[in-house]
Amino acid sequence: MSTNGELVASIEALLAEAKSYNEEQPDRVVRAKMLGMVEALHYRLESPAEAMFRQLTNYSETSAVRTLRQMGVLDKIPRQEPITAKQLAIVTGKNEEVLSRLMRILTSTGILKSHGADTFSHTPLSLAYLDTPEVEFWDLCVDEIAPVAYSLPGYMTTHKPDSILNPRLSPYSWANNSEGKVFYEVLLDHPDRLKRFNTAMTTQENALPVLGMFPFASLLDKSADHDRPFIVDVAGGKGQSLLQIKKELEAAGGDMGRGRVILQDRKAVLDAVPDEQLLGIEKMIIDFFEPQPVKNAQIYYLRRIMHNWQDAECLTILHNIASAMAPDSRLLIGEMVVPEKPEGVDKTVYWMDLCMLIIGGKERSQKEFSELLDSAGLRLVKIWRQMVGSQTVIECLLK
């Protein structure tokens, strides 16, 4: 088939998918497939120079959105009708020309709609910056991480090659004049930034799936020992994941009273959660860099902890859990897994890995997880994957 024939075939394949696609009730898998086909066509048709300058479009778009949000301009655009830049300048007290120039960047990428003559209106994309909780995490990345990312060349030229793998010498610590402290210790020095981080993490956690991957209910009949701990959520925060798991098990007819259900974290985190929100769940203060106090639990659960740390720190965390496990105990790790090669349209795992590199953490591939687990005396049994996206539950046993 000629090159042009391959292009036509790709377009026809996309058209075939579109004919059966229901926009009102979209199927997530089909939608992701179609977006992948559109993206592949885009990459195929654009020139190398266009691809290079698309990066400039991306940063210009991000800068324009953040500026308009911070100035309160997006809030002043009517929800149902257009408004001129002149009218916006009057109600916001900002410069009309500057507003127009920032907003037309966003009309070029479909975030705002242009009606000509410096007149603009909202789209579902712009409203997302006003109505969705995910924008808290977006703000955090743009304000805290992106400036450090742009200074990364300066970090690389002033540090030894392996320094970036030391969480106490991370680019974030360096950029905040706090080398010697890990990311979380830097935040403790800035209560306003710590509060913002915690808010953003709560919305991010809620957006990522806990269920629908590993079949927790399948373990209900594996132990009849009422005295044995059933599940230990290590560094489980406010118990948001554990509550979902508990609900799924109870819906499947499981008796959660037959084994201890334990939420572990630092004292300040646990003290902030009212006991009535954790009925049937035991709180336990721990430091996961110290030996695990609960022995022989059926399940040890780590969700979105490993990616916060480099390999050396993760190895300590894993060793402490492995030392507490019984031969039939399972360690379940909820994390994204980097594909062996880029696939699909979900780029989350890649930009998240850059974020983690900056603050002292790491997203890992299956090979990297397997090697890390092996070093801790564990073996990777299976990766339970989300239907769309990179989120997984990694099932592990003692070697």
What is the Cα–Cα distance from 311 to 252, expressed in whole angstroms? 37
Beta strands in 191-347 (DSSP E): 231-233, 261-265, 282-285, 299-303, 330-338
Q: Residue 38 has which token pair?
A: 């559109």
205 Cβ neighbours under 8 A, 6+ residues apart: 237, 240, 241, 304
Contact criterion met (CB below 8 Å) for 246 and 281: yes
Judging by DSSP bridges, how do beta strands 378-385 and 391-398 pair with one another?
antiparallel
Residue 382 is classified by DSSP as E
192 Cβ neighbours under 8 A, 6+ residues apart: none
User: Which residues are designated catalytic?
Assistant: 307
The DSSP result for 337-380, as a single string, is: EE-SS--SS--HHHHHHHHHHHHT---EEHHHHHHHHHHTTEEE
106 Cβ neighbours under 8 A, 6+ residues apart: 61, 64, 65, 68, 112, 126
SS3 category, 296: coil
CB atoms within 10 A of CB 29: 10
Q: Residue 110 has which token pair?
A: 């479909």
Phi/psi of residue 131, nearest 5 degrees: -110, -15
Contact criterion met (CB below 8 Å) for 73 and 122: no
The owner of tokens 């699909």 is: 344
Query: End-to-end alpha-carbon separation of the chain, Å?
Result: 51
What is the Cα–Cα distance from 53 to 29, expressed in whole angstroms? 30
Contact criterion met (CB below 8 Å) for 269 and 292: no
- Nearest of 122, 100, 99 to residue 111 by alpha carbon: 122
